Amino acid sequence: MPKKQKTKKHPLKKFIRRAKPRAPRPAAESAEKPKRTFNLLRGMHDVLPREEKYRKPLYQSALELADFFQFSRIETPIMEEAGLFIRSIGRGTDIVDKEMYVFEDRDGNKICLRPENTAAIARAYIMHGMWNMPLPTKLWYWGPMFRYDRPQAGRYRQFYQVGYETLGDGGPAVDAELILIAYNFCQDAGVPVEIHLNSIGTPEERKNYKTALVDYYRAKRGYLCDDCKARLHKNPLRLLDCKNEKCQPVKDEAPQITDWLGEESKSHFMKVLEYLDELTVPYTLRHTLVRGLDYYTRTVFEIYPSLTGEAGAQSALGGGGRYDLLVEEMGGKPTPAAGFSIGIERMVAAIRAFNEANGLRPPAPKYDLYLAQLGDSARQSALRLLNVLRKSGLKVSFNLSKNSLKSQLESANSLQVPYALIIGQKEVQDNTAVIRDMESGTQEIVDQRKIDNILKKKLGKM
């Protein structure tokens, strides 16, 4: 009697057995104990596919701009020592006084979720001795920031920023190049913007200006809102940020910082304006623009959508400026620098507002063809073909969950693809496929092995 051959045990068999689905609990039992559902933390939001379709082109444009203007990507951690931001941004600012997520870790270190990224980049620049690299050092980033702000439209507690920073060059061409990048980023997204611009000089120039500003505001104390009365002592430059109607007449007549600039700061600013004129970047001089952070010197700017109505009145899409002293103050070598960041959620809101106002839709993805299949074995061939088509650089749409040819061709139609590729039982047996010209409706049968080349030829991709 022939010896019974021992069948080889499948190496995954024990796992397969274990993975057997458990019998569902009786409905009555689960109805008794409703499961707790979880909500988002206040001020947080999920980026769902419907928002991602706006964010993806923004990311691609950020990447292209970085490549063209020769910026390298830097990714710093979202958690840093709290002191890094307290020292660089400064006490008396909203971010440090009210908005930082600060907590102790298990070792008792005071850490925070980054409220912005410039200080972290200055920290990384010093830590990794980047001044030894050819100057200037040009870095860009894209990532989440955290501010414990009061949530409202366009204001979240976690939001994304894209930013570009140039370290090691104090010349005005750097300021203009950065403003150009910010401007191009918004233009690529189709959002018309204008740049608000000012120079806040050096710390000495600002000191003299602050004295004049405080003297002026003290004389008008009776006409000020309560916040401004406090700002007068705490952070006088923030007086110029006040949005309260009551303070506007006082603000309009306030001394202008540009009158306090020394020769060097003045000529730096004039040169920036000259470059922007040359580039035809639209800008408006705003003598009340000071930015909320301590580290800025000379040029400061903000980007506003030039839309009318509610969307136009929205707050800034982004902002930035020079910070010539920050790296030295953080313990590094003297390193003039400048940079800016743009809020991604605000950009998405501006694109949506612009599209709505102009009856536009977000750009739909473009495909070369639709792959339709009929039946189980056709689905298997379709999967194999998908891989072949992807490798030959064709963009294919498909839905392996659909079974009806009618509904798959309807999808092909609504995607406006030029061709559909159809595989049924017969095509699997013959190793063929049907190419359907979606416009004329004509069909031809082709050999599956030649399909990529045939399609590429038809699509003019060869």
Task: List contacts with ligand AMP (CB under 6 A).
Answer: 116, 147, 149, 154-156, 159, 161, 316-319, 341, 343, 345-346
Sheet with strand 110-113: strands edge to edge: 79-81, 110-113, 101-104
> Considering beta carbons, is residue 136 or 318 the nearer one to ligand AMP?
318
One-letter amino acid at 65 equals: L
> Considering beta carbons, is residue 289 or 317 the nearer one to ligand AMP?
317
Alpha carbons 305 and 316: distance in angstroms, whole number: 7
* Token pair recorded at residue 295: 């580290």
Q: How far is the CB of 165 from ligand AMP (least distance, A)?
A: 13
Residue 97's SS3 state is helix
For the purposes of burial, counting CB atoms within 10 Å of the CB of 285, is it exposed (0-12), middle (13-18) or buried (19 or more)?
Answer: middle
Q: How far is the CB of 154 from ligand AMP (least distance, A)?
A: 6
> Considering beta carbons, is residue 155 or 210 the nearer one to ligand AMP?
155
> Considering beta carbons, is residue 147 or 231 the nearer one to ligand AMP?
147
Alpha carbons 199 and 266: distance in angstroms, whole number: 8
Q: How far is the CB of 311 from ligand AMP (least distance, A)?
A: 13
- Tell me which residue of 298, 336, 287, 301 sits closest to 205, measured CA to CA: 298
DSSP letters for 361-393: -PPPP--SEEEEE-SHHHHHHHHHHHHHHHHTT
One-letter amino acid at 182 equals: A
Q: How far is the CB of 325 from ligand AMP (least distance, A)?
A: 18
Among left, alpha and beta (phi > 0; psi -120 to 50; other), residue 312 is alpha
> Considering beta carbons, is residue 144 or 170 the nearer one to ligand AMP?
144
Q: How far is the CB of 345 from ligand AMP (least distance, A)?
A: 5
- Tell me which residue of 297, 301, 264 sits closest to 281, measured CA to CA: 301
Q: How far is the CB of 319 from ligand AMP (least distance, A)?
A: 4
Q: How far is the CB of 117 from ligand AMP (least distance, A)?
A: 9
Q: How far is the CB of 318 from ligand AMP (least distance, A)?
A: 5
> Considering beta carbons, is residue 236 or 318 the nearer one to ligand AMP?
318
> Considering beta carbons, is residue 185 or 398 the nearer one to ligand AMP?
185
DSSP 8-state code for residue 132? G
* Token pair recorded at residue 155: 């204001």
Q: How far is the CB of 149 from ligand AMP (least distance, A)?
A: 4
Q: How far is the CB of 51 from ligand AMP (least distance, A)?
A: 13
* Token pair recorded at residue 367: 């495909």
Contact 364, 414 (CB under 8 A): no
> Considering beta carbons, is residue 156 or 367 the nearer one to ligand AMP?
156
Q: How far is the CB of 182 from ligand AMP (least distance, A)?
A: 10
> Considering beta carbons, is residue 186 or 421 the nearer one to ligand AMP?
186
> Considering beta carbons, is residue 317 or 420 the nearer one to ligand AMP?
317
> Considering beta carbons, is residue 193 or 213 the nearer one to ligand AMP?
193
* Token pair recorded at residue 126: 């010093």
Sheet with strand 432-437: strands edge to edge: 396-398, 369-373, 419-423, 432-437, 443-447
Length of the chain equals 462
Longest dimension (CA), the chain: 115
Contact 183, 281 (CB under 8 A): yes
One-letter amino acid at 186 equals: C
Q: Which residue is nearest to ligand AMP (CB)?
A: 343
**CB atoms inside a 10 Å sphere around CB 41:** 9
Alpha carbons 23 and 399: distance in angstroms, whole number: 30
Instruction: List Cα–Cα distances, 188 to 159, 280, 340, 348, 352, in angstroms.
Output: 21, 16, 17, 13, 14
